[in-house]
Amino acid sequence: MAMHTLVLGTSGTSLEDVIAVARGAARVELAEETRHALAVSRRIIDDLAAGSDPVYGVSTGFGALAVRHISPDLRARLQRNIVRSHAAGMGPPVEREVVRALLFLRLKTVASGHTGVRPEVAQTMADVLNAGITPVVHEYGSLGCSGDLAPLSHCALTLMGEGDAEGPDGTVRPAAELLTEHGITPVELREKEGLALLNGTDGMLGMLAMACADLSLLLTSADITAALTLEALLGTDRVLAPELHALRPHPGQAASAANMLRVLAGSGLTGHHQDDAPRVQDAYSVRCAPQVAGAGRDTLAHARTVAERELAAAVDNPVVLAGPDGTGRVESNGNFHGAPVAYVLDFLAIVAADLASIAERRTDRMLDRNRSHGLPPFLAADAGVDSGLMIAQYTQAALVSEMKRLAVPASTDSIPSSAMQEDHVSMGWSAARKLRTSVDHLTRVLAVELYAATRALELRDGLLAEGREPGPAARAVTAALRAAGVPGPGEDRFLAPDLAAAAEFVRDGALVRAAETATGPLA
């Protein structure tokens, strides 16, 4: 199979491209227009460097030290030093996909032609990505303003042939060795280049891009698990009618309701909520599932808009503004502040927590004999001898509880830095890191609901009249889950491996694919 190649121009990139580089093996090449723009902006930097006027990042120090003029003989050292000193991260290394997104997105901004970086430095960045070399970046060190300074500095350190990096085989080794093995010459930074390599929102943006992709899948998965739970509880699908949702025209709500209705098509279990113990209405966690998941969809749409705007941006300080005649100027700005990205990262953590919360409530309802409408306690084979899914719900509740803590916004915090020159920061990196944890937890929470709902549906067999069976989508999902090695009802067994397999079934999209064999494409 031919390897996918992205040609990076001056106008930014897409969320899909970020995913392709971060999680896949997509190669990156520089367009000719990019090389030309880089050369033009570099000439502007060289002309300014030759002049006598102080220019931030070119002939001055950085941050609170910008008052010092740096003589030409010290400027290469200045650029090396900013990378070395700012590569001050601590804690465990972050995931490979995060670092690849980080480096790719910095290259995206460099390729805009607004940073003053030479074409050969940009090419080295592409070469490192294409070689599968991943700088070691640590968990702690970014305040999300002047961008993700420490994480990006660790990436720049690798470009210089210093520090440690992970090779294509996953082994961490000195970066110099890895560059040599792949025929890559370490860069020797010149004026402005060290600063340009570490002054952006790339880490938090990369994690936002991946969270958008993951949550899109999980929102569809949540519609499926909610529908299966409604079916298992003999609920009514009449609340999903399009004309009801048209009365409150939130697009996400309509999409979620339509998904659920399609999953429930052909079911012989829905609409029997008055057979055993008459119910006028289903509980909120069942009846309001489209309203909650739909609000999450609309929030995700807003987050994608912010991410797409940021992907079209050139985030650096100062920036090079070139005129049509090749002349230009360098201007300081505040575009590196991570607030726009940080806000939506925090917003998505709220979405994930609430989506998990309502899923846990549905699961608990299936396990409680007083509310499950004829299902055995805890969906156990022999309740009392068997505990069934009692503790699976405990695990689900523990995950939800942590997600509520993770939903506390990071972006409302700010700690002044750099001798009060950088006196308001976004904490966007922290918002992104906790969102990744929350998304992972949501996957597990939905997996527990899926595990319980499919078991409950199978337990309905023999308890209901002939012809009262789950719909085609429920049968397709249950069969696929069983084929994936997740067993159905029976005596108590070692549950952790089953739940882990169910989580992977959700995470890799197998749940959605299985449902779509019966429903067609879901939103």
Residues 458-514: pLDDT tens digits?
998 756 656 689 999 999 999 999 999 999 999 999 999 999 999 999 999 999 999
Q: pLDDT tens digit string along 328-345?
A: 898 989 999 999 999 999
Lowest mean pLDDT among 119-128, 186-195, 414-423, 484-493: 414-423
pLDDT at position 342 is 97
Same domain, 211 and 195: no
On whether the CB atoms of residues 204 and 144 are closer than 8 A, the answer is: yes
Averaged confidence pLDDT in the chain: 94
Same domain, 104 and 222: no
Question: Crossing angle for the helix pair 202-232 and 510-519, nearest 10 degrees?
Answer: 50
Give 55's pLDDT tier (boundaries 50, 70, 90).
Answer: confident
Cα dist. 124→32, 133, 192, 381 in Å? 16, 11, 17, 61
Residue 315, judged by CB atoms within 10 A of its CB (0-12, 13-18, 19+), counts as: buried
pLDDT at position 1 is 38
Same domain, 254 and 293: yes
CATH number for the domain spanning 191: value is 1.10.275.10
Q: CB atoms < 10 A from the CB of 327, how many? A: 12
Return all residues near 126 (Cβ < 8 A) that are at least 6 apart.
8, 28, 29, 30, 107
Tokens 């992977």 sit on residue: 504
Same domain, 108 and 211: no
For residue 413, pLDDT over 80 is answered with: yes
Q: Who wins on pLDDT, 419 or 63? A: 419
What the block records as the tokens of 478 is: 């249950």
Return all residues near 521 (Cβ < 8 A) that are at least 6 apart.
none
pLDDT at position 370 is 94
Q: How far apart are CA 444 and CA 127, in angstroms?
A: 37
For residue 276, pLDDT over 70 is answered with: no
Backbone angles phi, psi at 6, to 5 degrees: -105, 130
Same domain, 194 and 324: no
Same domain, 98 and 171: yes
Domain endpoint, select from 200, 223, 251: 200
For residue 183, pLDDT over 70 is answered with: yes
Instruction: Give the pairing of strands 134-135 and 164-166.
Output: antiparallel
Tokens 């279990």 sit on residue: 269
Domain endpoint, select from 142, 167, 200: 200
Report, as an integer, the average pLDDT of 433-458. Answer: 98
Q: pLDDT tens digit string along 25-50?
A: 899 999 999 999 999 999 999 988 88
Q: How far apart are CA 228 and CA 349, in angstroms?
A: 25
For residue 242, pLDDT over 90 is answered with: yes
- Could you give the number of structural domains in the chain? 2
Give 85's pLDDT tier (boundaries 50, 70, 90).
Answer: very high
Q: pLDDT tens digit string along 286-334?
A: 999 999 999 999 999 999 999 999 999 999 989 999 988 878 898 989 9
CATH number for the domain spanning 239: value is 1.20.200.10
Active site residues: 56
pLDDT at position 262 is 98
Same domain, 190 and 310: no
Q: How far apart are CA 434 and CA 347, in angstroms?
A: 12
CA 20: distance to chain centroid? 13
* DSSP three-state, residue 386: strand
On whether the CB atoms of residues 332 and 358 are closer than 8 A, the answer is: no
- Residue % of the chain over a pLDDT of 90: 83
On whether the CB atoms of residues 410 and 438 are closer than 8 A, the answer is: no
Number of helices followed by number of strands (H, E) in the chain = 19, 9
Same domain, 194 and 211: no
pLDDT at position 96 is 98
Same domain, 147 and 274: no
Same domain, 497 and 444: yes
Same domain, 215 and 185: no
Same domain, 128 and 31: yes
Domain endpoint, select from 200, 218, 238: 200
* Residue numbers of the domain that contains 114: 5-200
pTM, two decimal places: 0.95
pLDDT at position 57 is 75
Least Cα distance to 159 among 80, 85, 261 occurs for 80
Q: How far apart are CA 340 and CA 337, in angstroms?
A: 8
Residue type, 176: A
